[in-house]
Amino acid sequence: MTGTLYLVPVPIGNPADITLRALETLRTVELVAAEDTRHFLTLQRAHGLKARSISLHDHNEVARVPEIVALLQQGASVAVVSDAGTPVLSDPGYRLVSATIEAGIGVISLPGASAITTSLAGSALPPVPFRFCGFPPRAAGARMSFYRGLAADPATLVLFEAPHRLLASLRDARTALGDRSGCLARNLTKPHERYQRGTLATLIAGLEAEGTVRGECTLLIAGAPRALQREGRPLAPAQAVDAATMLLAEGAPPRAVMAVLTTTFGLSRRKAYGIAHRRGGQE
């Protein structure tokens, strides 16, 4: 008998947003793989959770995967949690889920808190279709290429961004995409939750007036106008590899490169993953 891998969402701000099923799962598993065990310790103390925890983050996921899969094969059940929200979505866990399924072991994903769907519902932007793009690249050149790669996408774009890069990222988005409608969803579910809606230029002006930008932020941008969508042309596979090479060389993380490859070049997630990680890059 093998164990089961559980993907367990945790609150994105308000501690009351954890589900009864999530708590029951965390009470019954033998091990919790947490993005940061210190964050998980706070949750443990709040709810009297006793399960042993180990870290599973960007820098150790490759090494951790065989260890966790071996435990699952021996019959232990394991829960994966991120610092906030639903694991795997812009957080560690993708490699583990893939390896677990390949090993013939069951994976159960629990519903729960997510900044992606929470912000989309309150943004006043079209919810269907939408595309979650993770974090834009940190380097300015790679970030501009990232946004340009999304310019013809008709879907509402949903992104995460660090507060100290938010203003620069918005300026790049406006340059690459035009002055579209957008929304900043900040400190979701926390006491100082705030939605700022308007054109990208309006959002930029608001942040410039604030001075120092603080708080966790989800950025949403309206999809491409129909005229721009019609201008799109199919791109060759070789161009996808060339684009990925350039983005990786400029410091773009593999997740961001995958978003461009699937959006602009229409590659499958598996194919995009192979191209984005061909140099052994870490997410």
pLDDT digits (tens, 9 = 90+) for 232-250: 444 556 777 877 887 887 6
Q: What is the dihedral of CA 209, 131, 146, 227, to 10 degrees?
A: -90
Residue entry with tokens 């929304």: 183
Mention every residue, 6+ apart, whose C-beta is less than 8 A from residue 204.
167, 170, 171, 174
Q: Are 163 and 213 in contact (CB under 8 A)?
A: yes
Poorest-pLDDT segment among 92-101, 167-176, 234-243, 262-271: 234-243
Nearest by Cα to 217 from 244, 234, 194: 194
Nearest by Cα to 81 from 22, 14, 8, 31: 8
Distance CA 204, CA 218 (A): 14
Nearest by Cα to 135 from 1, 272, 253, 15: 253
Superfamily of domain 116-224 in CATH is Tetrapyrrole methylase, C-terminal domain (3.30.950.10)
Q: What is the model's pLDDT at position 281? A: 39
Q: What are the structure tokens assigned to 56, written together?
A: 């599973």
The answer to whether the predicted template modeling score (pTM) of the entire model surpasses 0.75 is yes
Poorest-pLDDT segment among 3-12, 132-141, 165-174, 253-262: 253-262
DSSP sequence for 220-263 = EE----HHHHHH-----HHHHHHHHHHHHHTT--HHHHHHHHHH
Distance CA 274, CA 280 (A): 10
Q: What CATH code is assigned to 4-113?
A: 3.40.1010.10
Domain ranges of the chain: 4-113, 116-224, 233-283
Q: What are the structure tokens assigned to 16, written together?
A: 């009351």
Mention every residue, 6+ apart, whose C-beta is less than 8 A from residue 110.
6, 7, 8, 9, 19, 21, 22, 25
Q: What is the model's pLDDT at position 195? A: 96
Highest-scoring range by mean pLDDT, 82-96, 230-244, 251-265: 82-96
| Mean confidence (pLDDT) of the chain | 89
Amino acid at 218: T
Q: Is the pLDDT of residue 45 over 80?
A: yes
In percent, the amount of the chain with pLDDT more than 70 equals 92
Work out whether strand 194-199 and strand 181-186 pair parallel, antiparallel, or are unpaired.
Answer: antiparallel
Q: What is the dihedral of CA 251, 166, 57, 148, to 10 degrees?
A: -40
Q: What is the model's pLDDT at position 274? A: 86
Distance CA 48, CA 61 (A): 27
Distance CA 123, CA 221 (A): 9
Higher-confidence residue of 280 and 258: namely 258
